[in-house]
Amino acid sequence: MGEFVVRGGKRLNGTVRINGAKNAALPILAATVLATEPVILHDVPDLRDIHVMIAVLRSLGMTVEKAGRDVFVDPRTLNSYVVPAELMQEMRASIFLLGPLLAKLGAAEATQPGGCAIGDRPIDLHLYGLTSLGATVHDEGGRTVLRAKKLVGNEVHFPFPSVGATENVLMAAALAEGETRIRNAAMEPEIVDLAQFLERLGATVRGAGTPDIRISGASMLKGAEHTVIGDRIEAATFVLSTAAVGGDITVKNCLVDHLPGLWGRLQEIGVMVEEIDADTVHIVSEGRFKPIPVSVATAPYPGFATDCQPQFMSFLLAVPGVHLVTERVFENRLGHAAQLRRMGAQIIADQRVALIYGGHPLHGAYVTAPDLRAGAALVIGALKAEGESVIAGREIIERGYEQLDVRLSALGANIQAR
C-alpha cells in the first residue's frame, strides 16, 4: 500500500489550476455509448477511476484512446452489453453504463458495483428509474440483467435526489421514445455538464440543474466534442488546505458558483476570499482564527457537499471553538475522525454527528485513509500538524486527486509519495 509522507507547518503560496471533474467525466464517458459517431473529450483527469472506465468501454468493444487530457472514443465498434465483473468491482461509476447500454442495445448486465465504503449506496433508485422507462430486471447468478425491446418516456419521481440515478435515467431517456420527466432530480453541476454533452450529441434536455428535468428522446445521437468542467471538490480541497495552514493562493478553473455554502463560511471565520472572475478565486489565510462556533450539515446540492465534509472538518480543527458537523447524505462518512484523533484532534463522533474542539495543536502520526475524501482530510490534517505524518492508502486518495503531492509541493508543502 502506497503512502504520503507529510512534514507539516508549511504555508501554501502560488497558483494551482483545477483539473477536469472526475464526477463529470465518468458519466460522460459512459454516455459515449449512446453516440453513433466518434466523440472527443477534453480536460479529462488522469485518474485510476478514469482508466478503469476506459477499460470497461474497451471491454464492450469500443475504441478508446487517451492522449494527455484528451480522450477519443469511437462507439461504432460497440458489441457487448456485459460489464466485466472484475472491472465493476473496482469502481462504482461502472453502474452509469446500465442506462446507455439498455438504450443503445436493449440490454445491460452487471454486478453490484464497488467503490468507497462510506455507507449504503444501493442501486435500487437506478433500477426504479430504468424500469419506469420500460426495462425489466432480474438476477442471473448474482448479476443484474436489464432488458427492454424499447424504452418509452415516462415520469420518474425519485424519493431522494440521487445523483447517479438521475444521470442514468437522463442518459437512457436520451434515446427513449417520447418525453421523460425526472421529478426531484439531483441538481449537481456534474449533471448539468452531462446534459450539455447529451445536447451536443443531439438530445433535447430542459431543466438540468433544477429538480425538474425533461428529456425529449431522439432516434439517433451523433458524435461531439466536449470539455469537462473543473472539479469543484478538488478546488475545495486546495482552498481548505490553504485556509487551515495559512497561505495565499490563486485557484484557476474553479467555478465559484459550484461551491455554494463554502465561501461565506470561510469569510465568516476570517479567510479572505476574492472572486477574480467566474472561474478564478483568490484565497488568503493567516491560519489563525478568532474563537467562533461553526455548524455545518451536508445536503444534496445546492447544500453543503458531502464530498467536502471531511476536508472541512480538518479545517475546523484550526478554528478555536466547539463545532458541529452533521452528515445527512451517507450514514458512515465520519471514518476520518478516528484517524484525525491519532494526530491529537479532539473530536467526538458517531456515524452521523461529530463535535470538533478546534484550536488545539496537532502532531504527526501514522494514519490510514478509510476512503477517498477522508484521505484528503488526513492530508490537510498532516499539513497543519507539527512533525511528520505518514498517510497509508495513497492509492485510495489518488482515485480523486491527480499528482496531489506534486501540486501541493509546488505551493510550498513538504509532501512526498512513496
Q: In CATH, what number is assigned to the domain containing residue 80?
A: 3.65.10.10
Q: Which of 227, 258, 287 is the last residue of a domain?
A: 227
Beta carbons within 8 Å of 384's beta carbon, 6+ residues apart: 8, 9, 244, 245, 287, 314, 317, 318, 362
Predicted pLDDT of residue 122: 67
Residue numbering of the annotated binding site for phosphoenolpyruvate: 22-23
Residue numbering of the annotated binding site: 22-23, 92, 121-125, 307, 329
Predicted pLDDT of residue 119: 45
For the chain (length 418 residues), average pLDDT per consecutive 10?
A: 96 98 97 98 96 95 97 97 85 86 95 54 86 93 89 97 96 98 98 98 98 97 98 98 98 95 94 95 95 95 95 98 94 91 97 95 97 96 98 95 97 97
139 and 286 in a common domain: no
30 and 14 in a common domain: no
384 and 238 in a common domain: yes
Report the predicted TM-score, pTM, of the whole model to 2 decimal places: 0.95
For the chain, the domain total comes to 2
Instruction: Report, in this order, helix, strand and coil percent for the chain, each rounded to 5.
Output: 35, 30, 35
Beta-bridge partner residues of 206: 214
189 and 175 in a common domain: yes
| 308 carries an active-site annotation | no
CA distance 213 to 182: 5
CA distance 208 to 211: 8
Cis, peptide link before residue 370, omega less than 30° from 0: no
Report which secondary-structure segment, H or E, holds 27.
helix 22-31
200 and 74 in a common domain: yes
Cα dihedral 177, 179, 185, 187 in deg (nearest 10): 100
Residue numbering of the annotated binding site for UDP-N-acetyl-alpha-D-glucosamine: 92, 121-125, 307, 329
- Residue where the block lists cell 478568532: 290
Give me the domain span that covers residue 395. 3-19+230-417
255 and 390 in a common domain: yes
Q: Which of 202, 227, 252 is the last residue of a domain?
A: 227
| Residue 104 near residue 71 (C-beta atoms within 8 A) | no
Catalytic residue among 116, 208, 228, 273: 116
36 and 164 in a common domain: yes
264 and 244 in a common domain: yes
Longest Cα separation, the chain:
63
Q: Which of 180, 207, 227 is the last residue of a domain?
A: 227
